């Protein structure tokens, strides 16, 4: 009798917890905060050197996250895409600063805008990995 009630309780517990989504880790939360800081900075007229500093911080946080053996592939994929978009944005921004031709500056502005939008979408996607 005792083993059957224990087995029933285990089945009920597994059914109740099966629908629970995983929780974000502190390392993942730090990465999201850093990526969000970059996004907010670009919307509030951060300068290029500030952008690069935030990008370096994000890279360090992502490195720490990747050392963790228990990685959420959905989250990590979105973070990698977001960071790559920020790297492209940084290169476009740097080229824009040194460019003399107005047409090329426009191209760099478009690349910068597209990359920042793509990064924002991937931050949102990373957040949805835990909903």
pLDDT tens across 20-70, in order? 557 888 899 999 999 999 999 999 989 999 999 999 999 999 999 999 877
> Which tens digits make up the pLDDT trace of 61-101?
999 999 987 788 999 999 999 999 999 999 999 999 998 99
Q: What is the pTM of this model?
A: 0.80
Domains defined for the chain, CATH in brackets: 24-128 (1.20.1440)
Region for residue 18 given its phi and psi (left: phi exceeds 0; alpha: psi -120 to 50; beta: otherwise): alpha
Q: For the chain, give me the number of helices (H) and strands (E)?
A: 5, 0
């Amino acid at each position: 009798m005792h083993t059957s009630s224990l087995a029933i309780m285990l089945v009920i517990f597994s059914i109740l917890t099966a629908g629970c989504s995983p929780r974000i880790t502190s390392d993942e939360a730090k990465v999201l905060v850093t990526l969000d800081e970059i996004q907010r900075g670009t919307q509030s007229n951060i300068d290029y050197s500030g952008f690069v500093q935030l990008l370096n911080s994000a890279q360090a946080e992502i490195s720490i996250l990747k050392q963790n053996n228990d990685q959420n592939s959905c989250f990590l994929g979105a973070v990698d895409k977001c960071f790559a978009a920020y790297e492209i944005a940084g290169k476009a921004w740097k080229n824009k600063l040194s460019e003399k031709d107005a047409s090329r500056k426009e191209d760099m502005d478009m690349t910068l805008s597209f990359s920042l939008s793509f990064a924002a979408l991937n931050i949102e996607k990373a957040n949805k990995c835990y909903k």
